[in-house]
Structure 1
Amino acid sequence: MLKFVLLIAVLWMPLVWAQTPLQVRFAPEKDYGPFIYQDEQGQIRGLSWDILQAIAEPAALQIQTLPASSLASILEMAKLGQIDLISSLRPTAERSEYLSFTYPYVAVPAVLIARDDGAAVDLFSLQGKSVAVGKGYAVESFVQDKFPNIAWLAVNDDREALLLLKQGKVDALVADIASVIFIAKAEQYRQWRVVQNIGFQYQLSFAYPKGQVEIGQRLNQALLSMPLAQREALLARWLNPEQIKDAIPYSLILKYSAAVLAGLALLCALWLWRRRGSSA
């Protein structure tokens, strides 16, 4: 009887949402391509934006897009209750104090980037050296905890980090590989290389204020209902496997591939488990 009631609730919920649109304030990050960014014409673009546009109607969400800003500013706004939705975010203990998260919709590894004209380095050999990392990014606390002897420089975004590397003002930077490729291509900067897979993976989700359960329910159901072909098309549009492969040294390809495959396997398993649970 309970399963029957739950099944009716699952089937009936989209009909209720179709009749009761919910307006949400979405705060896009200004410079986190290819996931979410503002282009030269002031338009919001990226993988996360395309996914949000695809699921907004099924979730009966009316998106009010706020001015693009840095992640640090967006998180402060979230603490003050000034926004309802953030994209391209990885859960952390600190963020979970005031935010809840949907199922992840993409997974990418974080890597150490150095100039291609310098000596071979890794995070163990950079003690006392200056390494840039995004301020407020999930990877920031990870690397600070694991490598406290590095002089970590918190910057607004990965673009600033790559610019500092180009200018020789930092010895290296930590960022996700997709973001670095996107920025380097836009800036026509080629004098960089991946030197280490740091063992951290970005499983990016949408985030919403803790306690606003309905937003999460609508987003999760819409994400799970998205056709696989549509999801794959969006991923292929923004994440080019050949560009990623060309950026990774041969010695790191196996480690990188293992991280990506593990992330994809996790997402697929989660998706199938949730689908099975919904139809039980």
Structure 2
Amino acid sequence: MLFFIRRKPALSWMMGLALMHWAQGAGAAQLAAYEAPPFDPGERLVLDPQELKWIKENPQVIVASMQFPLYLFKNERGQWNGLNNDILQRIAQMTGLEFVHRESFSPDQLLAMLENGEADMTTTLAMNDERRDFLSFSHAFGGSGWVFVGRDGDCAPHSLEQLNGKILALPARHALEAEIRRDYPAIELRTVKTYGEARALVESREAHATIENETGVHLYPAGQLRVGRSLEGKWEPDYLAVRQDLLPLLSILNKALEAFPAEEMRALRSKWMAGIAPSQAPSVWLRVSRWGYWCVIVVVLFGLLSLLWNRRLQIQIDQRLKAEAVLNDQLMLQRALMDAMPDPIFIRDLEGRLIMCNKSYEEQFATRFEKLRGTRLTDSAVFPPATAALLHAEVMEQLRTGQSRFVDRQLMFGGGLRDIYHWSVPFYGADGQLRGLLGGWIDAGRRWSRGEQFLA
């Protein structure tokens, strides 16, 4: 318990960092969840007889629509949504018109639908000379600028002049294409179908930059791209573009925009644009800070895991030290019991090597155990060679058969022939495996003396 109490500050720190990271994504969630209050349809727009007749004859208006984030896009249910869709719905309430979207997938395809009469109007086109040849544009109801998009790490252009001799990728029939070809012939234009393809060319270094609307560009994943500066003096107002042969429709739309309540327009733009402001690429310090948060979290987690692991190891070490202390106590008791016995006692391993003896054994041969440790009977001079060979053979035979031996015998020691009572027994480990031989002897004279004392 004390361990966790001491680590509470570290856990609190880690939870705080996680909350900070979660808060960074909270703004986007707020925008997605924001719902503007429903509009009051109010009174119908006052239109002249020609306009009313046109609406009666053309109640349904086909809108060529290309997905453009925030302005016009399909939601997860496949329904059209966005700022421009809300404006069209409000105009529908004011006029009685029904706006039907027909999807296109590139600026070139969208323009072709209008040129071929497959659609009546669109909501996402910027004005230029080419488009004014076959389209009429309504009153502006907002707008945004153009920005450069380059590869992250490269020097971002600040003006079109800096792109002279370089490749600029644009969707075909982009609003600025004709102007750039006319005023900046040194720029090498590479046209593609969509903005996504233009971004891909920049990311793969096949183009130096592309140009996008500053509102929508910040909604795409940055990847290896970087949003640069705005094009100075280039502004893209928001228009409703209508085919030139549909002038009554243009007049109706202009009257609707003029009568559009300013408060409602602000509410609509706030609904979709709040919190989506052009921002510069994150600074080096900000990127380092973000990496720093994760590094701190990783270090804290690693530190906590290390503390837990060290604690576990310390517990195991303490348990092992306690077990070793108990084992040492047992060995000391065993040694004390052996040394307290007056007769010689020895222990030999499976190869006949001496692994333990008592004090009496050392005194019998006037030597120390340290000199005899690990020796066989045939390796030392405690017995004459013939006696040592005989005893060693008996030891190995007992270890082979597992039989105990208790016998009165005469043995030749270094000091002469002696009558002894010789005993030896195999001993086993806790797993039942043979570990060695335990034995000793008693001088016959001392044995009979003990018997007489017992009988007396």
| Interval containing the TM-score (normalised by the shorter chain) | 0.7 to 0.9
Higher relative CO (Cα under 8 Å, sequence separation at least 6) belongs to 1
Partner residue in 2 for 1:166: 203
Partner residue in 2 for 1:229: 263
Partner residue in 1 for 2:111: 75
In structure 2, do the counterparts of structure 1 residues 179 and 58 end up closer, same or farther at CA, with 3 Å as the change threshold? same
Among all aligned residue pairs of Structure 1 and Structure 2, give the percentage whose two residues are the same amino acid: 24
Partner residue in 2 for 1:210: 244
In structure 2, do the counterparts of structure 1 residues 115 and 40 end up closer, same or farther at CA, with 3 Å as the change threshold? farther
Residue segments in structure 1 that go unaligned for 5+ positions in a row: 1-9, 251-280
Rounded to whole Å, the distance in 2 between the matches of 1:23 and 1:70 is 24
Describe how 1:61-140 pairs up with structure 2 within 5 A.
Answer: 61-122=97-158, 123-140=160-177
The amino acid that maps onto 2:234 is F
| Residue of structure 2 aligned with 1:189, choices 223, 246, 252 | 223
In structure 2, do the counterparts of structure 1 residues 77 and 143 end up closer, same or farther at CA, with 3 Å as the change threshold? same
Rounded to whole Å, the distance in 2 between the matches of 1:121 and 1:65 is 37
Secondary structure of the residue aligned to 1:224 is helix
The answer to whether the 8 A contact 2:146-2:231 is kept is yes
Secondary structure of the residue aligned to 2:85 is helix
| Residue of structure 2 aligned with 1:36, choices 66, 72, 89 | 72
Q: Does 1:177 align with 2:230?
A: no
Aligned length: 236
Shift of residue 57 of structure 1?
2.1
The answer to whether the 8 A contact 1:34-1:47 is kept is yes
Partner residue in 1 for 2:280: 247
Shift of residue 108 of structure 1?
0.8
Partner residue in 1 for 2:190: 153
Secondary structure of the residue aligned to 1:109 is strand
In structure 2, do the counterparts of structure 1 residues 43 and 189 end up closer, same or farther at CA, with 3 Å as the change threshold? farther
Rounded to whole Å, the distance in 1 between the matches of 2:230 and 2:77 is 35
- With the length of structure 1 as denominator, give the TM-score of the two structures: 0.74
Residue segments in structure 2 that go unaligned for 5+ positions in a row: 1-44, 284-456
Shift of residue 157 of structure 1?
2.8
The answer to whether the 8 A contact 2:156-2:228 is kept is no
Secondary structure of the residue aligned to 2:124 is strand
Partner residue in 1 for 2:48: 13
The amino acid that maps onto 2:243 is P
Partner residue in 1 for 2:31: none
In structure 2, do the counterparts of structure 1 residues 60 and 246 end up closer, same or farther at CA, with 3 Å as the change threshold? same
Let me know the Cα RMSD of the aligned residues.
Answer: 2.8
Secondary structure of the residue aligned to 1:193 is strand
The answer to whether the 8 A contact 2:148-2:211 is kept is yes
- With the length of structure 2 as denominator, give the TM-score of the two structures: 0.47
Shift of residue 169 of structure 1?
2.6
Rounded to whole Å, the distance in 2 between the matches of 1:41 and 1:149 is 46
In structure 2, do the counterparts of structure 1 residues 152 and 50 end up closer, same or farther at CA, with 3 Å as the change threshold? same
Rounded to whole Å, the distance in 2 between the matches of 1:221 and 1:145 is 35
In structure 2, do the counterparts of structure 1 residues 226 and 248 end up closer, same or farther at CA, with 3 Å as the change threshold? farther
Shift of residue 217 of structure 1?
1.5
Rounded to whole Å, the distance in 1 between the matches of 2:273 and 2:111 is 26
CA shift digits 1:210-246 (9 cap, x unpaired): 1212111111111111111111121122224x54242
Secondary structure of the residue aligned to 1:247 is coil
Shift of residue 112 of structure 1?
1.6
Rounded to whole Å, the distance in 2 between the matches of 1:43 and 1:93 is 33
Shift of residue 73 of structure 1?
0.9
> For structure 1, which segment, 156-165 or 223-232, has the greater mean C-alpha deviation from structure 2 after superposition?
156-165
The amino acid that maps onto 1:153 is R
The answer to whether the 8 A contact 2:125-2:239 is kept is yes
Rounded to whole Å, the distance in 2 between the matches of 1:247 and 1:39 is 28
Rounded to whole Å, the distance in 1 between the matches of 2:50 and 2:244 is 25
